């Protein structure tokens, strides 16, 4: 049973009244005020992680990696689904620019073009994935004939999060996908600690992405036998097409999807021509950076159980370090490891079907016919931020004067976080699994 105080339609009406546009004359685009409220709810959830839900799924025989947003048959799967699309983001951008929504024969005011919008959205999607590493994809990468040591990765590779050596042909008596974890190294550590590795092919136990061409890794030592690389990669985003009849899923967390709107607006308002608005472009760039920071802080999976028994939870690095044979021995799994926000691994490799339950910091609960799932003390700030977002299209001093409404959202989020920290003595540990892999195998040195 959730909150049952104010419905989404009532909140929309309250927002229209605040804007003194109950007839939706100025905010006339279909769903325009709904989009402002949805962004406000998502921003609130990204700031606090307060709305939580339990999802459940079943393991498959000899399958240890599970991409949570893509799993079928997940109880409460909407809690972790990635539903944001290119059309949704593009229409939010167009509404902010006082342009008509996407249609088959779209024609704007002349300040912007569909091609400009499409390029900006594609660039910001790829940049956001590279900036945050928030979505990890598992791929089997073929290795050239031994003893070749350099392996080419897909050209859309933005980052390498984990590799494991998979021998071929498959050994008998092993799970269908045995693999040996490979630790990250560089050329100096190879020369210092394993001199002569390059001259003595064997089963690889390390890899480097530093002293090689782009989109490649070098195995240490070179492989003696045929094999492949079981990899976890950050890949570039889907190709957007802005077709309102065939929207493209963006593959990023819903709560963070407003980042793309602000990034696209920053690019389009910073371009030369009649559309140039450097002041608002700078504001939009700051907002994009804010969501990049949130991507590193907001939790995803908190707790796990397997077969209704609480189990250990951490990162895939924990499994590789403390149970290095987890991916090549079958048995009853007892640990859930995360690599980023979306990819969970269950170790050891399941020898059958097991029920897995994960408590997650979920997508913001958005039901345009139901109740807003925020406390009564937070309804005002949620409406404040929605009003601030809606006023962006006004520009100038009228928009600048709404900055206090944005600050109200930040203030209530700080208060909510203080409450959560007070009632959860080990909140840092509970929220750590999705962040732990980046701490152990850090993406950025700052």
Confidence of residue 314 (pLDDT cuts 50, 70, 90): very high
Task: Determine the number of helices (DSSP H) and then strands (DSSP E) in the chain.
Answer: 13, 17
Please give the pLDDT value at position 411.
97
pLDDT at 128 over 90: yes
Residues in the chain: 446
* Interval 26-71: pLDDT, tens: 999 889 999 999 999 999 999 999 999 999 999 999 899 999 999 9
pLDDT at 272 over 90: no
| HSE value, Cβ hemisphere, 13 Å, CA-based, for 17 | 7
Contact 289, 347 (CB under 8 A): no
Q: Which helix (H) or strand (E) holds 125?
A: helix 114-132
pLDDT above 90 covers what percent of the chain?
A: 82
Confidence of residue 23 (pLDDT cuts 50, 70, 90): very high
Please give the pLDDT value at position 104.
76
CA 444/CA 176 separation, integer angstroms: 34
* Interval 344-381: pLDDT, tens: 999 999 999 999 999 999 999 999 999 999 999 999 99
pLDDT at 342 over 60: yes
Confidence of residue 439 (pLDDT cuts 50, 70, 90): confident
Please give the pLDDT value at position 304.
96
Is the model more confident about 145 or about 82?
82
What is the average pLDDT across 130-155?
A: 93
Please give the pLDDT value at position 159.
95
Please give the pLDDT value at position 289.
97
Please give the pLDDT value at position 171.
58
Label the pairing between strands 301-306 and 312-315: unpaired
Please give the pLDDT value at position 133.
94
pLDDT at 173 over 60: no
């Amino acid at each position: 049973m959730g909150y049952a105080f104010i419905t989404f339609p009532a909140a929309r009406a309250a927002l229209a009244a605040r804007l003194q546009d109950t007839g939706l004359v100025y905010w006339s685009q279909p769903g325009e005020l709904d989009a402002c409220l949805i962004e406000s709810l998502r921003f609130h959830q990204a700031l606090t992680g307060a709305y939580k839900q339990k999802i459940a799924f079943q393991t498959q025989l000899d399958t240890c990696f599970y991409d949570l947003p893509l799993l079928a048959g997940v109880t409460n799967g909407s809690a972790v689904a990635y539903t944001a699309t290119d059309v949704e983001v593009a229409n939010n951008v167009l509404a902010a620019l006082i342009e008509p929504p996407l249609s088959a024969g779209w024609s704007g005011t002349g300040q912007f073009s569909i091609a400009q919008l499409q390029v900006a959205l594609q660039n910001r999607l790829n940049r956001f994935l590279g900036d945050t590493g928030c979505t990890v994809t598992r791929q089997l990468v073929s290795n050239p004939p031994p003893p070749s040591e350099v392996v080419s990765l897909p050209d859309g590779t933005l980052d390498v999060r984990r590799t494991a050596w998979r021998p071929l042909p498959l050994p008998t008596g092993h799970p269908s996908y045995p693999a040996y974890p490979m630790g990250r190294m560089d050329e100096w550590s190879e020369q210092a600690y394993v001199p002569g590795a390059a001259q003595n092919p064997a089963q690889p136990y390390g890899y480097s992405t530093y002293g090689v061409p782009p989109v490649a890794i070098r195995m240490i030592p070179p492989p003696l036998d045929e094999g492949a690389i079981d990899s976890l990669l950050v890949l570039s985003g889907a190709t957007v097409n802005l077709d309102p009849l065939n929207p493209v899923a963006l593959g990023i967390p819903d709560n963070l999807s407003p980042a793309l709107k602000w990034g696209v607006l920053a690019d389009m308002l910073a371009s030369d021509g009649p559309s140039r608005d450097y002041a608002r472009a700078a504001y939009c760039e700051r907002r994009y950076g804010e969501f990049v920071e949130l991507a590193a802080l907001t939790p995803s999976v908190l707790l796990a159980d397997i077969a209704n028994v609480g189990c250990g939870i951490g990162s895939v690095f924990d499994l590789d370090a403390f149970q290095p044979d987890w991916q090549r021995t079958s048995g009853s799994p007892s640990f859930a490891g995360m690599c980023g926000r979306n990819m969970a691994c269950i170790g050891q490799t399941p020898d059958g079907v097991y029920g897995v339950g994960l408590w997650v910091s979920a997508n913001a609960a958005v039901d345009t016919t139901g109740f807003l799932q925020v406390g009564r003390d937070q309804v005002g700030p949620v409406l404040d931020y929605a009003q601030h977002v809606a006023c962006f299209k006004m520009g100038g001093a009228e928009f600048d004067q709404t900055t206090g409404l944005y600050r109200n959202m930040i203030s209530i989020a700080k208060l909510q976080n203080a409450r959560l920290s007070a009632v959860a003595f080990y909140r840092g540990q509970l929220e750590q699994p999705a962040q732990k892999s980046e701490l152990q195998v850090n993406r950025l040195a700052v």
